[in-house]
A and B are shown apart, each in its own frame.
Chain A
Amino acid sequence: MIPAKFDYIKASSVSEAIGLLDKHGDEAKLLSGGHSLIPAMKLRLSRPEILIDISGISGMNSITEDGNEIVIGANCTHAAICNSDLINSDLNILAQTAKCIGDIQVRNRGTIGGSLAHADPAADYPAVVLACDANIVVEGKNGSRTIAATDFFLGIFTTSIAEDEIITTIRFPKVANGNYQKFFQSASRFAVVGVAVVKEGSGVKVGVTGVAGTPYRATAVENAYSGNSDAASHAIEGVEDELMSDHFADTTYRAHLAKVYVKKALEA
Chain B
Amino acid sequence: METYIGKSVKRREDARFLKGAGKYTDDIKLPGMTQAAFVRSPYAHAKILSVDTSAAEKAEGVVAVYTGSDACGTYGVPCGWQVDFKDGETMREPLHPLLAKDKILHVGEAVAIVIAESLELARDAAELVNVKYDVLPAVTCPKKAMESGAPKVHDQWGDNAAFDWCIGNDRAEVEAALASAHHVTEMNYKNHRVAPNAIEPRSYIADYDVNADKWTLYTSTQNPHLVRLLMCAFALGIPEHKVRVVSYDVGGGFGSKIYHYTEEALLTWASKEIGRPIKWTSDRTEAFLTDAHGRDHIVHSKMGFDKDGKIVAHLTDEFCAMGAYLSTFAPAVPTYLHGTLFQGVYTTPLIHLNVTAPFTHTVPVDAYRGAGRPEATYLLERIVSKAAKEMNMDPAELRLKNFIAPFNGTTEPGYQTQVALQYDSGNYHASLKRGLEMLGYEDFRKEQAEARKNGKLLGVGISTYIEGCGIAPSAVVGSLGARAGLYEVGHVRVQPTGKVSVFTGSHSHGQGHETVFAQFAADKLGIPMDDIDIVHGDTDQVAFGMGTYGSRSLSVGGSAIIKSIEKVLEKGAKIAAHKLEAAEEDLEYAEGKWTVKGTDKSISFGDVSLTAYVPHDYPEGVEPGLDFSSFYDPTNFTYPFGTHIAVVEVCSDTGKVTVKRFVACDDVGNVMNPMIVDGQIHGGVVQGIGQALLEEVVYDGEGQMVTGSYMDYAMPRADDMPMIETDRTTTPCPHNPLGAKGAGEAGAIGSTPAVVNAVVDALAHMGVTDIQMPVTPQRVWKAMQN
Contacts and interface: CB of A to CB of B under 8 A. Distances in A.
B124 A5 contact: yes
Contacts of B715: 187
Contacts of B120: 2, 5
A247 B781 contact: no
Contacts of A257: 654
B712 interface: yes
Interface residues of B, number: 27
A250 B785 CA distance: 15
Interface string B745-786: 000000000000000000000000000000011100110000
Nearest to A256: B781
Contacts of B694: 186-187
A183 interface: yes
Given A186-B694, A247-B706, A256-B781, A4 B713 contact: no
Interface string B258-297: 0000000000000000000000000111000000000000
B4 to A, nearest CB: 39
B124 A247 contact: no
A51 interface: no
Interface string B704-726: 00110011111100001000000
B654 A187 contact: no
Interface string A164-180: 00000000000000000
B119 interface: yes
B582 interface: no
A123 to B, nearest CB: 13
Interface string B10-39: 000000000000000000000000000000
B302 interface: no
B782 A1 contact: no
Interface in A235-257: 246-250, 253, 256-257
A122 B497 CA distance: 65
Contact of A187 (B119, B284, B713, B777): B713
Given A1-B283, A188-B712, A247-B712, A183 B698 contact: no
Contacts of B781: 253, 256
A4 B653 CA distance: 45
Nearest to A44: B127
B124 to A, nearest CB: 7
Interface of chain A: mostly helix, strand, loop or mixed: loop
Interface in B128-174: none
Contacts of B714: 186-187
Contacts, number: 50
A186 B120 CA distance: 32
Contacts of A260: 653-654
A2 B283 CA distance: 10
Contact of B782 (A43, A183, A247, A253): A253
B782 A188 contact: no
Given A1-B284, A253-B782, A260-B653, A247 B698 contact: yes
A78 to B, nearest CB: 18
Contacts of B456: none
A249 B782 CA distance: 11
A4 B124 contact: yes
Given A248-B776, A253-B778, A187 B123 contact: no
Nearest to A122: B711
A260 B784 CA distance: 15
Nearest to A1: B283
B711 A187 contact: yes
B255 to A, nearest CB: 22
A103 to B, nearest CB: 9
A100 B714 CA distance: 17
Contacts of B777: 183, 186, 253
A248 B653 contact: no
A183 B713 contact: no
Given A247-B712, A260-B654, A186 B119 contact: no
Contacts of A188: 710-712
Contacts of A264: 653
Most A-side CB within 10 Å, residue of B710, B715, B776, B777: B777
A260 B713 CA distance: 25
Nearest to B37: A2
A82 B199 CA distance: 31
Given A1-B283, A260-B653, A187 B710 contact: yes
A250 B712 contact: no
Nearest to A259: B653
A247 B715 CA distance: 15
Contacts of A4: 124, 127
Contacts of B776: 186, 248
B124 A250 contact: no
Nearest to B778: A253
Nearest to B653: A260
B654 A2 contact: no
B711 A183 contact: no
Contacts of B698: 247
B778 A250 contact: yes
B129 to A, nearest CB: 14
Nearest to A193: B654
Most B-side CB within 10 Å, residue of A5, A247, A248, A260: A247
Contacts of B778: 248-250, 253
A72 to B, nearest CB: 27
A264 B656 CA distance: 15
B73 to A, nearest CB: 26
Most B-side CB within 10 Å, residue of A5, A43, A187, A249: A187
A2 B710 contact: no
Contacts of B127: 4, 44
Contacts of B713: 187
Nearest to B655: A253
Nearest to A5: B124
A252 to B, nearest CB: 8
A243 B543 CA distance: 62
Interface in A210-268: 246-250, 253, 256-257, 260, 264
Interface of B: 119-120, 123-124, 127, 283-285, 653-654, 694, 696, 698, 706-707, 710-715, 720, 776-778, 781-782
29 contacts: A1-B283, A1-B285, A4-B124, A4-B127, A5-B124, A183-B654, A183-B777, A186-B694, A186-B720, A186-B776, A186-B777, A187-B694, A187-B707, A187-B713, A187-B715, A188-B710, A188-B711, A246-B706, A247-B696, A247-B706, A247-B712, A248-B776, A250-B778, A253-B781, A253-B782, A256-B781, A257-B654, A260-B653, A260-B654
Given A187-B710, A187-B712, A256-B781, 4 more contacts: A186-B694, A188-B711, A247-B696, A264-B653
Q: Which 3 A-B pairs have the closest CB atoms?
A: A187-B714, A186-B714, A188-B711
